[in-house]
Amino acid sequence: MIYGAFNLIFMSVALNIKFLFDDVVSLYPDGIKRQTFGSSGIDLRAHSVTFLNVDGSRVHHLLGDKDAVNQTVADNDILQYCDLLPGHRVLVGTGMAFAIDVGYEIQVRSRSGLALKNGLMVINSPGTIDSDYRGEIGVPIVNLSDQTFRIHRGDRIAQAVVCVVPAVSFDIVSDLPSSVRGEGGFGSTGLK
């Protein structure tokens, strides 16, 4: 058996974050940071919710009370909380936008505790935020449980992880190299 020592080099990448509304800073009283030194991502917190109607229209609400929201909006545009019914989905706004260098992406992932305990999942997990996107970070959430889940202003609803995206060249070929697995997919390698 061969044993070896490995030196890990921790990369440092700048992630520029813009609060789109003055009240968003209150969602992060300790600043934006990883929860522990070994954490892979940063938490994304609920600022607003957008419901998508069958006809394609959207209904947008800020979360919290009038004092917490600290914006000039109609009272009916503010919800104290959002009750997400079983099987339903909602777009949770974070009130933030990111900028990261080309060659990186930000992946939005479900939080494991919310997924296991409450059935709350990021629908397209992991979601990708491309390096050239500058709009608000929205998290599409679905409730896969049989219980209603209540989302409050400031709840940690997902996590964002910075990942390297290598430059790739695409070559169109007439044949692919063979492999042991071949075209077997969707469980073809078995369960055990």
Instruction: List the domain boundaries for the chain.
Output: 15-31+41-164
Fold of 15-31+41-164: Deoxyuridine 5'-Triphosphate Nucleotidohydrolase; Chain A (2.70.40)
pLDDT at 191: 75
pLDDT at 112: 93
Q: Do 121 and 142 meet the contact criterion of CB atoms below 8 Å apart?
A: yes
pLDDT at 39: 85
DSSP state of 177: P
User: What is d(CA 94, CA 47) in angstroms, rounded to the nearest whole number?
Assistant: 5
Residue type, 93: G
pLDDT at 132: 95
**Can you give the pTM of this predicted structure?**
0.82
Rg (alpha carbons) of the chain, rounded to whole number: 20
pLDDT at 70: 56
pLDDT at 1: 46
Q: Do 49 and 82 meet the contact criterion of CB atoms below 8 Å apart?
A: yes
Q: Do 148 and 85 meet the contact criterion of CB atoms below 8 Å apart?
A: yes
| Backbone φ and ψ of 77, nearest 5° | -95, 5
pLDDT at 67: 65
pLDDT at 69: 57
Intervals of the chain under pLDDT 70? 1-11, 66-76
H helices within 13-163, ranges in order?
66-69, 112-118
